[in-house]
């Protein structure tokens, strides 16, 4: 597999993982967006508390924050690899 194909494949995989994560946690995403509109900035502890509250009200188990962090790191790493190889990110 050529370098460009590998980079595109990595970016597409990272995009799909990020999209799935956001789709699976849409309720939390909306709650976070609404809170940010109201307060403009939040600390990590405030975000964790908000997500826990949203999930507890919905009867769901709190999401694994580490999973979200890992998905973000993977997407950033893939983007960095693509940038190093001179490949533009796919347009959405």
At 18 the pLDDT is 92
Average pLDDT value for residue range 10-27: 89
Is residue 37 situated within a structural domain?
A: yes
Lowest mean pLDDT among 9-13, 34-38, 81-85: 81-85
Is residue 38 situated within a structural domain?
A: yes
Rounded Cα distance, 64 and 61, in Å: 9
- Which DSSP letter does residue 39 get? H
At 60 the pLDDT is 46
Average pLDDT value for residue range 43-52: 91
Q: How many separate domains does the chain show?
A: 1
- Containing structural domain, residue 50: 27-58
Is residue 73 situated within a structural domain?
A: no
pTM beyond 0.75:
no
At 46 the pLDDT is 93
Rounded Cα distance, 83 and 92, in Å: 17
Collapsing DSSP to helix, strand or coil, 27 comes out as helix
Is residue 81 situated within a structural domain?
A: no
Is residue 90 situated within a structural domain?
A: no
Is residue 68 situated within a structural domain?
A: no
Residue 62 has pLDDT above 70, yes or no: no
Is residue 92 situated within a structural domain?
A: no
At 22 the pLDDT is 87
At 80 the pLDDT is 75
């Amino acid at each position: 597999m050529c370098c460009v194909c590998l980079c595109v494949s990595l970016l597409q995989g990272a995009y799909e993982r990020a999209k799935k994560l956001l789709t699976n946690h849409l309720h939390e995403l909306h709650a976070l967006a609404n809170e940010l509109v109201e307060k403009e900035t939040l600390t990590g502890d405030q975000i964790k508390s908000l997500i826990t509250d949203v999930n507890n009200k919905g009867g769901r188990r709190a999401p694994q924050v580490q999973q979200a962090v890992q998905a973000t790191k993977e997407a950033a790493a893939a983007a960095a690899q693509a940038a190093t190889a001179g490949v533009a990110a796919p347009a959405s």
